[in-house]
Amino acid sequence: MSKTTMDHAEASVAFNKDESYVDWHDETLWFVRQKRDRSSKLLPEWEQLRNTASQIKDYVLSHMDELLLSFEQKAKENGVHVHWAYNAAEHNEIVLGLLNRNRITKMVKSKSMLTEECHMNEFLSQNGIEVIDTDLGERIVQLRQEPPSHIVLPAIHLKKKDIGDLFHEHLGTDAGATDPQYLAEAARQHLRDKFLTRRAALTGVNFAIADTGGFVVATNEGNADMGAHLADIHIASMGFEKIIPRQEHLGVFLRLLARSATGQPVTTYNSHFKKPRDGQEMHIIIVDNGRTAQLGREDFRNSLKCIRCGACMNTCPVYRRSGGHSYHNAVAGPIGSILAPNLDMTKNADLPFASTLCGSCSNVCPVKIDIHDQLYKWRQVLAKGGYVPKAKEAGIKAMSAVLSQPRFYQWSGKLGRSVMRIMPFMVNNQLNPWYKNREMPEPPKESFRDWYVNNRRK
């Protein structure tokens, strides 16, 4: 395994240096998770919605080719230009080509995790194109020159003071200002000029409808509408898994999406696009970028059901206490950890191990993706393929030998308890990362099995 710049464990250590900050991050995301719980429980048909959404996505995964071709045909009939991109490089070249052809050097963009996945902003910047992210959270992280840490809440890792300092530096707000209304107004004035002067706008796609050729973009700020309706050219980028069969299916997914993401009954703006207005160009880029490979992996194809709500991140105890940037991938958290190895097993081999496998991610997933099962299966694939570090590989083999032999397991347990009682320094030392933030309780005199055997007859 080649060494990444900073793997998840190393990045987590850096994130955990300020304990009070980590506690705040943890509690904030848990607050969002609790909102999701309260909102979902108001719907008696919640589990029925989840089952229906999962079944619709099962159909989509089994009829992907037919649905995409139907969407392309209908979109073209609506006057939309449809492009196909095999990978991130092709996607970025298509966007650049459209901008160059129209002699456009400045563009606004609403939130799109696909363009983060494709590293589009960096590519366009290198080719003389200025891209302004108009989602407030994404604009904040763009000003900080860092990626989003959460797919729905890009700047959730920052406090009000951090935003105030950033806006003072870049937008000229008062030093030390932390009032959210004041800061939001400053951002609004800053972005308004961008909306009015940019001739091109790029949006993501939340749902593309096969039988109409239309698509839906969900935002809470209305920035996708502002950009797309004011621009001469509207470019929409979508991963091909965003397709759904029929318009009526939107009623299922839109009810699930906002409740799962933030606990809202519905996203503030669900904008429906179908055809360009008079004088406007509308382009849709349908991107593969490894999705075909994932579709072909029987154990992992269900990950393509994801509707990018972020619920699995908000509930994950590891994500909440390690931060989104520790995942070094466009999509962080549990769902990102099963999507990332498909793109690059060497670079992302650490991510499926960034989980307790508690299953909370699967429990809250609105489309019932078996996330924790897939994390476990990725570990097996990566270990068998030789992608894990040698030390971890040796540890896995040692534990396999111990756990597969009952007598050896019992003997090892007795030995371990004795060592911890007589020579605790053998395990509690700087070489054992388990003890960096933990204190082990007093080792028991006997195992539960021994206790049970001795007391069963009493």
Statement: residue 72 has pLDDT above 50: yes
Amino acid at 365: C
| Helix (H) / strand (E) containing 253 | helix 250-261
The structure tokens 């593309």 sit at 208
**Given this model, what pLDDT does residue 438 score?**
76
The C-alpha atoms of residue 125 and residue 245 are separated, in whole angstroms, by 36
Statement: residue 4 has pLDDT above 70: no
Average pLDDT over residues 45-73: 98
What does the pLDDT look like over 338-363, one tens digit per residue? 999 999 999 999 999 999 999 999 99
Q: What is the largest CA-CA distance in the chain?
A: 88
* Percent helix, strand and coil across the chain, each to the nearest 5: 55, 10, 35
Indicate the pTM of the whole model: 0.90
**What percentage of the chain reaches a pLDDT higher than 90?**
86
SS3 200: strand
What does the pLDDT look like over 357-403, one tens digit per residue? 999 999 999 999 999 999 999 999 999 999 998 888 898 889 999 99
Mean of per-residue pLDDT scores for the chain: 94
DSSP secondary structure string, 391-437?
Answer: HHHHHHHHHHHHHT-HHHHHHHHHHHHHHHHH-GGGTSSTT-GGGSS
What does the pLDDT look like over 224-268, one tens digit per residue? 999 999 999 999 999 999 999 999 999 999 999 999 999 999 999
Statement: residue 181 has pLDDT above 80: yes
Average pLDDT over residues 425-448: 81
Name the strands in the sheet holding 207-209, side by side, starting at the edge strand that comes first in the sequence: 243-244, 207-209, 215-219, 269-273
Q: 149: which DSSP letter?
A: S
Angle subtended at Cα 291 by Cα 289 and Cα 297, rounded to the nearest 5 degrees: 140
Q: Ramachandran region of residue 365, left (φ > 0), alpha (ψ -120 to 50) or beta?
A: beta
**What percentage of the chain reaches a pLDDT higher than 70?**
99
Average pLDDT over residues 400-416: 92
In angstroms, what CA-CA distances link 343 with 47, 245, 292, 377? 32, 27, 11, 16
Q: 335: which DSSP letter?
A: H
